[in-house]
Copies of this chain bind each other. A is one copy, B any other.
Amino acid sequence: MWNLLTLSKPNSKEDKKLVTAIKTFGGFTPSNLAIYRLATLHTSKAKDIDGFRESNERLEYLGDAILGAAVADYLFKKYPFKNEGFLTEIRSRIVNRESLNNLARKIGIGSIVQYDQRNMQLQKVILGNTLEALVGAIYLDKGYLRCKKFVIDKLIQPYFDLEVVVNSESNHKSKVIEWAQRNAKEIKFEITETKRGRGREFLALVVLGGEMYGQGFGLTKKKAEQNAAEKTCVLLKI
């Protein structure tokens, strides 16, 4: 699978640029440069080798899983008293497509991705996918621990203010209320308390102009409302 090693000359101009970029955004020197070459190779520029089209897509699949594990670990330890619903939600806000695309742009992936410049434009999603592929490459080249360290020290900590990420949740409710005001609809959050095992849970329902929209659950009223508001945003496509 490392056939590409033999395809591009080591120490070419592109290689030097790649090494410099990795040193800059990653703070380390690649050991096996071929893996990083592959990680930055978009499918539009991939070559068929013995009928197999080698591009960064396989590394993207691997990197996606490793990135998910590294961020899961980081949040698990950072928030020892938060439940799994919170952790899952915060993780998805960090590793979602849009967030990865923006992050990739910020660390300069655009200057190292290899794509077919004659026939296509460099879309944002290509940047995010390439970043995932690079995480896969670092994992293969340096191992899990160093890859996790890269994810935390070079991606999460410098680019995400977790307080902002966590609190952006409260936007759902205000979004729904603003929508109701714009559209002159009466809005109500109906709350019901339910039993859950030995504990209790709240059920929130958004009612807009007499019609039922999102339903949400939570261990507090606030969380149930946020959850219901979030689902309502999806339903209203706002």
- Using a CB–CB cutoff of 8 Å, the interface residues on chain A facing chain B are 1, 43-44, 46, 48, 52-53, 57-58, 60-62, 64-66, 68-69, 71-73, 76, 80-84, 87-88, 116, 119, 136, 139, 144-145, 148, 197-199
Least CB distance from A135 to B in Å reads: 11
Main SS class of interface, A: helix
Distance in angstroms between the alpha carbons of A58 and B72 in the assembled complex: 10
Copies of this chain, whole number: 2
Asked if B68 and A65 make an inter-chain contact with CB atoms under 8 angstroms apart, the answer reads yes
Least CB distance from A147 to B in Å reads: 10
Using known A-B contacts A116-B197, A145-B144, A197-B44, determine if residue A81 contacts B52 with beta carbons closer than 8 Å.
yes
Q: Which residues of the other chain, B, contact A57 by a CB distance below 8 angstroms?
A: 83-84
Determine which of B48, B52, B69, B73 lies in contact with A68 in the assembled complex, contact meaning CB atoms within 8 Å.
B69
Supply 19 A–B pairs (Cβ within 8 Å), ascending by A: A43-B197, A44-B198, A53-B199, A57-B83, A57-B84, A58-B76, A60-B84, A65-B69, A65-B71, A65-B73, A66-B69, A66-B73, A69-B69, A69-B144, A73-B139, A116-B197, A116-B198, A144-B144, A144-B145
Q: Which residues of the other chain, B, contact A53 by a CB distance below 8 angstroms?
A: 83, 199
Asked if A65 and B72 make an inter-chain contact with CB atoms under 8 angstroms apart, the answer reads yes
Asked if B87 and A61 make an inter-chain contact with CB atoms under 8 angstroms apart, the answer reads yes
Least CB distance from A20 to B in Å reads: 28
Asked if B1 and A48 make an inter-chain contact with CB atoms under 8 angstroms apart, the answer reads no
Asked if B44 and A58 make an inter-chain contact with CB atoms under 8 angstroms apart, the answer reads no
Q: Which residues of the other chain, B, contact A81 by a CB distance below 8 angstroms?
A: 1, 52
Distance in angstroms between the alpha carbons of A64 and B73 in the assembled complex: 11
Asked if A62 and B58 make an inter-chain contact with CB atoms under 8 angstroms apart, the answer reads no
Q: Which residues of the other chain, B, contact A83 by a CB distance below 8 angstroms?
A: 53, 57-58
Q: Which residues of the other chain, B, contact A87 by a CB distance below 8 angstroms?
A: 58, 61
Determine which of B48, B58, B65 lies in contact with A199 in the assembled complex, contact meaning CB atoms within 8 Å.
B48
Distance in angstroms between the alpha carbons of A82 and B1 in the assembled complex: 10
Least CB distance from A69 to B in Å reads: 4
Q: Which residues of the other chain, B, contact A80 by a CB distance below 8 angstroms?
A: 1
Q: Which residues of the other chain, B, contact A1 by a CB distance below 8 angstroms?
A: 80-81
